Amino acid sequence: MGIHRARVRLKTLTLPNTDQFERFLKEIESANGRDSRKCADLVRFLAFSGCRISEARAVKWADCDVEKGEIVVRGDQDTGTKNWTIRCIKMIPDMRQLLERLRRERPEETPDSPVMQVKECLASMTRAAKAVGMSRITHHDLRHLFATRCIESGVDIPTVSRWLGHKDGGALAMRVYGHLRDQHSAEMAQKVTFSRTPPAQAPKG
């Protein structure tokens, strides 16, 4: 995959491709800080769930059902989620692997223990982005990365919108990510043929 751009708040946000994101995570994890690995896991959790940072901080083990593949997002105890509704996110395979690893590493924790052990990691993210030569991204940008990856993988926009906790039926997601849906649709159309001999692929660009 190449570098992706999401249209967010009338600006162009440059998101890391798959290889950049892997190097980004490794750079955070290998920084030799006290919480370096915990910071990398927070980045993974945000990118694999689409949660807001305030929502991720509040997720407890009791909210994670690996067997069903679901995470219940309740938000902060006092402020709740942004739109005051509890929602359920389906676990992508990467999230399932992350939670299974964390549970193996921390078997003594109770259902009320928070899954994430650090509350933010922006400084680590900024340093790592510079080190690997990618554009700086924030906690919230990882939410856009999640949505972008989902749409590029063929998940429909209304479903992505529900996972993000939008209550507008997908209108906002369509404005922000509609171009990715259209691009994916065009690429899928090139796979359809009525001929035994696959047609030549149209040049990109």
Contact, 28 vs 124, CB < 8 A?
A: yes
Does residue 9 lie in a domain region? no
What is the pLDDT of the chain when averaged over all its residues?
Answer: 84
Other C-beta atoms closer than 10 Å to the C-beta of 166 total: 18
Task: Please give the residue range of the domain that contains residue 137.
Answer: 17-187
The Cα–Cα gap between 26 and 41 comes to: 11
Contact between 116 and 100 under an 8 Å Cβ cutoff? The reply is no
**198 within some domain:** no
At residue 80, does pLDDT exceed 50? no
For the segment 31-66, what is each residue's pLDDT rounded down to a tens digit?
Answer: 988 999 999 999 999 999 999 999 999 999 999 999
CA 87 – CA 75 distance, rounded (Å): 9
Give the total number of structural domains in the chain: 1
Decide if 27 is inside a domain.
yes
Put residue 95 in one of left, alpha, beta given phi > 0 → left and psi -120 to 50 → alpha: alpha
Q: Percent of the chain beyond pLDDT 70? A: 77
Are residues 7 and 176 in contact, defined by beta-carbon separation less than 8 angstroms? yes
* pLDDT digit string, tens, across residues 82-112: 555 789 999 999 999 999 999 999 999 999 9
Query: Which two structure tokens, joined as six digits, stand for 132?
Result: 């690997």
Task: Return the CATH number at 71.
Answer: 1.10.443.10
Asked if residue 49 belongs to a domain, the reply is yes
* Residue 192 located in a structural domain: no
Q: Is residue 64 part of a domain?
A: yes
CA distance 86 to 52: 13
Q: What is the pLDDT of residues 142-183, one digit of tens each?
A: 999 998 888 888 888 888 888 998 776 655 566 666 566 667
Q: Residue 54 domain-assigned?
A: yes
Place of tokens 């696959």: 198
